[in-house]
Structure 1
């Protein structure tokens, strides 16, 4: 795995304006951090120095074909959150080998709670495509979103219909997909990431529809 930063030749560095939290934000951030601690999503680091990044090593009793097949099957946990401070998404992508990708993203546009959940799902599917997934199992605690995708509910609102069409478009890019509804307690990590994202400074992210 490698990371690449694309920089235009001749471009000059620009100093970003310092972001400051509003007076109501510190308490919200503190509450979200406490929720993450209680959910077991984060914990206190007691190591005297930073550890190196995890390196994936092929198992001795695993063939190349088995490794390739396992790495293309991913589980996608998504959630979106919208409140008076802002809106954001939490995404967790996990494969059968235990590799886990986590994304916490703030939205810079107004949206409802259901729209935020659709945005999270679309971003998650784009991420799954980028890592080479061929089969994706989606987990969401939104009964409305999962029911619309599975054809159990109709999307009567024009904006929600656009989100549904875009989601179905991305789902068709995979050889096999499954969308499942789960309870909030089983989606607590993605939920915590989405709420944490809604309190972060702006990132100039736009809607995907």
Structure 2
């Protein structure tokens, strides 16, 4: 069967990757230039550390996956991969990569983020240059904007695929295998699209074993009994609160999130 879409994409990639960045419209009127980055300029502050997200999604016969590389302000790189247990289109996989990257950056308290993607559709839908015509794209676009609102400012730009090779490689490996990619890149398995509304059940929270520890670490509240207060001080030294969540410290292990019975 003819594959005009794949041929057209190959031509677009070829032009995008091989167009010299120094060319301008005056020097070469027929050149196709990479679009300039779009940014939320009003709230952008150069004094605030900037995080950089490279992400890519992929859907093929082997499976569907996404990869992302989040660069911290000090140059460290966090690599992450996603494998989907459901079928997606390439555009949906790109959106899944974007949502995962934004959630990761937000969990690491990033305030400003620069997003780099080789997907023309995703970039232009985020900047409102393209409209989301079907229900799936509209749901993904809405979810992306909800996450972007959690940042002080952001900017997004389309880059050639050659500049997004690391995230592209992660997405290809994640779509083909279930295990860890090497030893330093975790692979998360998604059982359903991120836009699927989860069923939420109301849970009644009462005082638990965590309540006295949390109250002491956050507000310095101690029991009136001196003996109990002393025991609570010693016990609380093994715990910490991060983003309003109680964790148990470990000497050689990561922080352990404390949970109630439910």
TM-score by length of 2: 0.52
177 and 153 in structure 1: CA distance in 2 versus 1, 3 angstrom threshold: same
TM-superposition CA deviations, 1:144-199 (whole Å, max 9, x none)? 01000001000001110100010011001100011111010000100000000001
Pick from 29, 35, 56: which aligns with 1:79? Answer: 56
Match for residue 163 of structure 2?
186
CA distance in 1, matches of 2:144, 2:101: 10
Q: How many residues align?
A: 140
TM-superposition CA deviations, 1:3-32 (whole Å, max 9, x none)? xxxxxxxxxxxxxxxxxxxxxxxxxxxxxx
Aligned partner of residue 143 in structure 2, secondary structure: helix
159 and 134 in structure 1: CA distance in 2 versus 1, 3 angstrom threshold: same
Match for residue 146 of structure 1?
123
CA distance in 2, matches of 1:165, 1:200: 30
Deviation at 1:110, TM superposition (A): 0.8
Pick from 61, 67, 80: which aligns with 1:90? Answer: 67
Greater Cα radius of gyration, structure 1 or 2: 2
Q: Does 1:136 align with 2:122?
A: no
1:28-177 pair list within 5 angstroms = 69-70=48-49, 73-177=50-154
Aligned partner of residue 117 in structure 1, secondary structure: helix
Aligned partner of residue 74 in structure 1, secondary structure: strand
Structure 1, unpaired ranges of 5+: 1-67
Aligned partner of residue 177 in structure 1, secondary structure: strand
Match for residue 194 of structure 2?
208
Deviation at 1:207, TM superposition (A): 1.3
Identify the structure with bigger relative contact order (alpha carbons < 8 Å, sequence gap 6+). Answer: 1
Match for residue 199 of structure 1?
176
CA distance in 2, matches of 1:201, 1:118: 20
Deviation at 1:69, TM superposition (A): 4.5
Retained in 1: the 8 A contact 2:52–2:115?
Answer: yes
TM-score by length of 1: 0.65
Structure 1 stretches of at least 4 aligned residues deviating more than 6 Å after TM superposition: none
